[in-house]
Amino acid sequence: MYQPSFDLAQNIKEQYSTPVAVISKPMLEEKVKAMKTAFKKNTKIFYAIKANNNPHIVNVLKNAGIDGIDTVSINEVKLAKKIGFTSDQIIYTGSSCSDSEMTDVHNEGVMLNIGSTSELARFGKIFPNTKVSIRFNPQVGDGETAAVITAGDSTKFGIKASKLDEVKQIVAEHNLIIAGIHCHIGSGFYTTEQFEKAVIRILDQAKDFANLEFIDFGGGFGVQYKKEQTPIDLNDFAASIEKHIAEFNAHNQKEIEVRLEPGKYLVMQACTTLTSVTTIKDEYAIPFVGTDTGMNHIIRPALYGSYHHVENLSKLDGEKQKVNIVGNICESDDFIAEEVEIQTPAEGDLLAVLTTGAYCPTMQSFYNLRAFLPEVLVDEDNSTTLIRKRMNFDEMINQLGFTDF
């Protein structure tokens, strides 16, 4: 987990003010390297850009060796292209897709990964004789909370195996070419068990498709949120599926391209949000520590009950106290961390909220008319580059699309 030193954090505060997101470039590079090293055999890494779409961050990942981008909207497709990825380096995994979005994505030359028979039939009608990928629901899911499990008995994602005959019928009717099959079981798993089960099921389904060019097993690799937590061993994940892929290849007498779509694994731990303590409210048994960030920047605790480790950088060796760390948003759920022990905070202290690199930046809002977090990229020598500026009032209002007033 990236945690800048007090001196560096203080310099960043002086230069860019708080709240501010600080991203370690070397850690981004390290995560790509770890993925590429563990999954050597014919595996391509398609970064799930929904996790963090700052083009400067994606560029670091690109230069470090990711092979492509997993997108979920037409605008993510356009952004991936603008960053420099070619159509064949982008896959689009939409859900509840309209005909017009499917058309726009297809017209960008990007392959669609389709997760319902309705969308497959509609796509086939508009674009017969076309290559597509199919997202199956392997009916095993895993993830750090129920809300982020995306496969299982009842889910909007993916096509159930019981629909296989219907899939084949649609494919035949419109002469579609199934070039890929895909699954994504959820976000934030720590053991290989469910992942391996899903891989076995998807490989079994893959036998039915003769023109396959790739099999995509999605993302979801868990990250370390707590200092005492043991990080996952990607080699275990690679080892858990290698045998099954080798058997599949032996059966087909050719090596299939394997794809993975990590999002949070590549970016979550590399980012820390620096925030200043503005207000101490001490009339309760567990005091409230008010900060200048909030759920508009870090929504995961309110949305998923997620944990973000917080350090008081101003007093790293200080005594600890149990506190509630809250933001400046007008909502009771505006917690950064609930009932956690941190070095006794005082107004003016500089806090570091760790592991905020994935989904926090992309799920930000202008709620309460507060601006997004500016982002600062930190290089190996601790030099800093502003990669997202703090918007002023006029810039924010312009982003909201209000007609003239």
- Show which residues are catalytic: 330
Amino acid identity of residue 222, one-letter, is G
**Residue 220 or 345 with smaller CB distance to ligand PLP:** 220
**Residue 81 or 264 with smaller CB distance to ligand PLP:** 264
Site for ligand PLP in 265-304 (CB under 6 A): 265
**Residue 21 or 277 with smaller CB distance to ligand PLP:** 21
Question: Which of these segments, 25-33, 37-45, 214-222, 337-345, binds ligand PLP (CB under 6 A)?
Answer: 214-222
Site for ligand PLP in 116-155 (CB under 6 A): 150
**CA 265 – CA 222 distance, rounded (Å):** 6
Residue choice 93, 133, 192, 276 for contact with ligand PLP (CB under 6 A):
93
Q: How far is the CB of 215 from ligand PLP (least distance, A)?
A: 14
Q: Which is nearest to 262 in space by CA: 49, 75, 57?
A: 49
In order of 103, 162, 203, 387, the CA distances from 208 in angstroms are 27, 14, 9, 46
Question: Phi/psi at 70 (nearest 5 deg)?
Answer: -100, 125
Site for ligand PLP in 24-53 (CB under 6 A): 48, 51
**CA 25 – CA 61 distance, rounded (Å):** 9
Q: Which is nearest to 224 in space by CA: 196, 265, 284?
A: 265
Where does residue 128 rank: exposed (0-12), middle (13-18), buried (19+ CB within 10 A)?
exposed
Question: Which of these segments, 215-223, 322-330, 345-353, 367-375, binds ligand PLP (CB under 6 A)?
Answer: 215-223
Q: How far is the CB of 330 from ligand PLP (least distance, A)?
A: 29
Site for ligand PLP in 358-377 (CB under 6 A): 358
Residue choice 263, 294, 345, 374 for contact with ligand PLP (CB under 6 A):
263
Residue choice 3, 18, 43, 187 for contact with ligand PLP (CB under 6 A):
187
Residue choice 4, 138, 220, 301 for contact with ligand PLP (CB under 6 A):
220
Q: Which is nearest to 258 in space by CA: 183, 186, 189?
A: 183
**CA 98 – CA 235 distance, rounded (Å):** 39
**CA 218 – CA 183 distance, rounded (Å):** 6
**CA 212 – CA 399 distance, rounded (Å):** 43
Task: Based on the shown chain and the rule CB under 6 A, indicate whether residue 115 belongs to the binding site for ligand PLP.
Answer: no
Q: How far is the CB of 70 from ligand PLP (least distance, A)?
A: 5
Q: How far is the CB of 234 from ligand PLP (least distance, A)?
A: 12
**CA 118 – CA 152 distance, rounded (Å):** 19
189 bridge partner residues: 221
**CA 133 – CA 111 distance, rounded (Å):** 7
**CA 310 – CA 297 distance, rounded (Å):** 15
Contact between residue 104 and residue 173 where contact means Cβ atoms under 8 Å apart: no
Question: What is the size of the binding site for ligand PLP (CB under 6 A)?
Answer: 18
**Residue 142 or 349 with smaller CB distance to ligand PLP:** 142
Site for ligand PLP in 64-83 (CB under 6 A): 70
Q: How far is the CB of 270 from ligand PLP (least distance, A)?
A: 13
Name the residues that contact ligand PLP, by CB under 6 A: 48, 51, 70, 93, 150, 184, 187-188, 218-221, 261-265, 358
